[in-house]
């Protein structure tokens, strides 16, 4: 029980009664488990699920997927990158020849950035593999459910821009509810992780709808996209990947409950709120 109490305090619930604290922390654990953010809330032994009893999980590693999407056209998304840490870890977006934007929960001390990829299982002749020399998380980031899930990566050298590798523009204003956006990544499909880049079109939901789906967990740094009826979503292998609305980078894949569940849309970092931080960080580094 002491382990749980300490973990609840770390998760931002120091004032809760013991029972409320445990439930709150376990709720956050469930929400983040399916989006590849488990390293932010690692559990001490014995596992939390054992202390609380064997409760069913909304998602597991076999259910982390883009669901209901389609294979993107080759060279259609030249800004899409793969963050490589011995395996495809996360997605990201090239915002200048030497900078990539991704999610803070994708952080690793060592990352390689793969650009110009479509089928990540084979060499197609369009790829550029560049090491990261600086990886900068937003200073206010603590965990995906507290927000500010955004990170800048500086490449060791500028990417060569061409039809397969190019930048995506940052927004000058925030997107409107109902805007149709394009989510992309190499997260797994229903049967397996795909080799080819997957795309999914989804609308931005209202703030009211988003907050109802995740009571007490949504703040101004987040927005929801997806379908309340379920069936279409983005998950673990897609984390950090871009949300492009009318060709502008408006979101970053962050977290959600399970995958493509009814009433549980995906939650995304709202890029328009971080333009000043992005510009200042790039200028200072």
The two three-digit tokens of residue 167, written as one number: 């930048």
Q: Does 45 qualify as catalytic in the annotation? A: no
Strands (E), the chain: 70-71, 80-84, 88-96, 99-102, 112-115, 128-137, 151-155, 180-185, 198-203, 222-225, 242-245, 248-255, 266-270
Q: Show Cβ contacts of residue 211 under 8 Å, excluding neighbours closer than 6 positions.
A: 218
CA distances from 25 to 8, 12, 113, 118, 165 (A): 5, 9, 33, 38, 41
Q: Of the residues 27, 105, 118, 138, which is catalytic? A: 105
Could you confirm whether 239 is annotated as catalytic? Answer: yes
Q: Which of 82, 143, 221, 239 is catalytic?
A: 239
* Active-site residue, selected from the candidate residues 64, 149, 233, 238: 149
- Annotated catalytic residues are 105, 149, 239
């Amino acid at each position: 029980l002491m382990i749980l109490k300490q973990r609840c305090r770390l998760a931002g619930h120091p004032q809760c009664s013991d029972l409320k604290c445990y439930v709150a922390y376990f709720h956050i654990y469930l929400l983040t488990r399916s989006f590849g953010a488990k390293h932010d809330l690692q559990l001490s032994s014995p596992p939390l699920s054992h202390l609380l009893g064997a409760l069913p999980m909304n998602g597991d590693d076999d259910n982390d997927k883009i669901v209901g999407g389609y294979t993107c056209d080759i060279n259609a998304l030249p800004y899409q990158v793969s963050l490589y840490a011995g395996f495809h870890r996360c997605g990201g977006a090239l915002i200048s020849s030497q900078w990539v934007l991704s999610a803070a929960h994708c952080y690793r001390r060592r990352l390689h950035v793969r650009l110009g990829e479509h089928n990540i299982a084979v060499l197609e002749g369009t790829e550029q593999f560049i090491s990261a020399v600086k990886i900068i998380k937003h200073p206010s980031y603590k965990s995906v459910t507290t927000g500010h899930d955004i990170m800048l990566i500086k490449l060791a050298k500028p990417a060569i821009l061409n039809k397969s590798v190019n930048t995506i523009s940052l927004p000058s204003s925030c997107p409107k509810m109902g805007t149709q956006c394009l989510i992309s990544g190499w997260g797994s499909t229903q049967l397996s992780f795909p080799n080819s880049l997957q795309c999914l079109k989804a609308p931005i939901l209202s703030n009211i709808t988003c907050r109802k789906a995740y009571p007490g967990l949504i703040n101004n740094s987040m927005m929801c996209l997806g379908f309340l009826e379920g069936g279409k979503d983005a998950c673990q292998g897609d984390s950090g990947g871009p949300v492009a609305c009318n060709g502008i980078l408006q979101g970053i894949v962050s977290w959600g409950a399970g995958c493509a569940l009814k009433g549980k849309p995906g939650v995304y970092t709202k890029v328009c709120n971080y333009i000043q931080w992005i510009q200042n960080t790039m200028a200072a580094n």
